[in-house]
Amino acid sequence: MQKENKIPKRFIPIDVDLFNNPKYHTLSNGAKLVYSVYSSRFRISFYHYLEEDYTYYDAEKGLFIYFANEDLARILNVSTRSITNYKRELLEFGLIEVQDTKNNGHRIYVKDVEPTPIDLDKEELAMPYFAIDEEGSSSKETENDSVVMENFSNVKAKKILLSNEKLKIKNITYDSGTGYIPNNNSTQPQTNSSLRDLSVESIGNRIKNQISTPVFAKIKMLAQNSYEKIKFYADTIFKAKSQVMSRLLNNPNWLYRQEFQEATRFESNLFLADGLEKSLLKLAEIMYKSDNEIRSEERLSYVYLRNGLANSTKKYLLDNFEFSDDERYQITQALAF
């Protein structure tokens, strides 16, 4: 491992108000731990949002996460039934909201913990040294993770507020893929070629910081300059990349390590753009040479692009950093779809 990439501490923070606020006194420790893991996963969704990748965001309810009960049970070394019970507790206390999307599993919306009332005597608190004084500052002015999380929450709130304002100004709605699309309530004819070209240019402008010009050119050729197909391929790429990132960072030991974050960014991992361009070319060849009708072009495209991005991510990690044999095996297994 390169010395400069080592991070001395890797941990999952637990909100102190879960212990100090009387509202949560009957919440089990298992449920508190599950909430903390969900909050940690929330950071990934927020990271995507800051990178203008809206895979884990919807305009109505905000940011959300995916986290299978089986995966969480394995991490915490408990049964899936225990996870179900812990989630039920969190639902009852209003700390999460769960929405069944049928095709993509359950969306989990992580809610804020209510702050401990400031009028409580310190003797009533389980952790009085984290009490908030009358000026709203911690009784110990130390740079700990609670301060980091507060700043993080403020940034998140401002970012989402700004996004909501843009939604009102631009009169746009959010598509469940990776970006925003115009409302289909315009009275202008949508078949106009100039309007189509502008729409295509809009997609390219939106993703230009993540996808290179050669890659976007291949997308347009593969989609035969159709706006709908170009948008489909762009959305598919980011959806596939998000799954690769989620699979890789599902290991809590890798969540905050810089090299693993960089491995899933087009800006830092040049293998991603190069591999993506090659995958698109190969995909075009497969479609052109296929003698039989392709049953699902969407499914074929998604699987092919996802596997290509996974291989590029693995190549970046294994070629640029030193890992133990066990870590190399874990990385290979995590990115094997």
| pLDDT per residue as tens digits for the range 299-324 | 888 888 888 999 999 999 999 998 88
- The answer as to whether 35 is a domain residue is yes
The reply to whether 34 and 153 lie within a common domain is yes
- The answer as to whether 180 is a domain residue is no
Confidence at residue 87, expressed as pLDDT on a 0 to 100 scale: 92
The reply to whether 215 and 151 lie within a common domain is no
Confidence at residue 183, expressed as pLDDT on a 0 to 100 scale: 37
The reply to whether 159 and 297 lie within a common domain is no
- The answer as to whether 292 is a domain residue is yes
The domain boundary, picked from 170, 205, 227, lies at 170
| Span 177-233, pLDDT tens digits | 333 333 333 333 444 567 777 777 777 777 777 777 888 888 888 888 788 888 888
Is the pLDDT confidence value at 92 over 80?
yes
The reply to whether 212 and 154 lie within a common domain is no
Contact between 211 and 237 under an 8 Å Cβ cutoff? The reply is: yes
Residues linked to residue 62 through DSSP beta bridges, in sequence order: 58
- The answer as to whether 184 is a domain residue is no
The reply to whether 134 and 206 lie within a common domain is no
Residues with Cβ within 8 Å of 8's Cβ and at least 6 positions away in sequence, in order, are none
Say whether 107 sits in a helix, a strand or coil: strand
Mean pLDDT value across the chain = 75
The reply to whether 87 and 156 lie within a common domain is yes
DSSP-derived letter for residue 27 is S
The reply to whether 132 and 65 lie within a common domain is yes
The reply to whether 204 and 151 lie within a common domain is no
- The answer as to whether 3 is a domain residue is no
- The answer as to whether 94 is a domain residue is yes
Residue 294's pLDDT band (boundaries 50, 70, 90)? low
- The answer as to whether 313 is a domain residue is yes
Half-sphere exposure of 125 (CA within 13 A, CB side): 19
The reply to whether 148 and 208 lie within a common domain is no
d(CA 109, CA 99): 8
Which domain covers residue 230, as residue numbers? Answer: 189-334
The reply to whether 28 and 162 lie within a common domain is yes
Number of domains in the chain: 2
Residues with Cβ within 8 Å of 203's Cβ and at least 6 positions away in sequence, in order, are 179, 227, 230, 231, 234
Residue 36's pLDDT band (boundaries 50, 70, 90)? very high
The domain boundary, picked from 109, 140, 170, lies at 170
Contact between 87 and 38 under an 8 Å Cβ cutoff? The reply is: no
Is the pLDDT confidence value at 151 over 90?
no
Query: Which two tokens mark 137?
Result: 């500052």
Residue 27's pLDDT band (boundaries 50, 70, 90)? very high
The reply to whether 241 and 325 lie within a common domain is yes
Which residue would you say has higher pLDDT here, 103 or 62? Answer: 62
**What is the Cα gyration radius of the chain?**
23
The domain boundary, picked from 109, 136, 170, lies at 170
- The answer as to whether 181 is a domain residue is no
The reply to whether 199 and 288 lie within a common domain is yes
Confidence at residue 316, expressed as pLDDT on a 0 to 100 scale: 92
Chain CA centroid to CA 88, Å:
24
Alpha helices in the chain (DSSP H): 17-20, 29-50, 69-76, 80-92, 145-170, 193-207, 213-222, 227-248, 258-262, 270-289, 297-320, 325-334
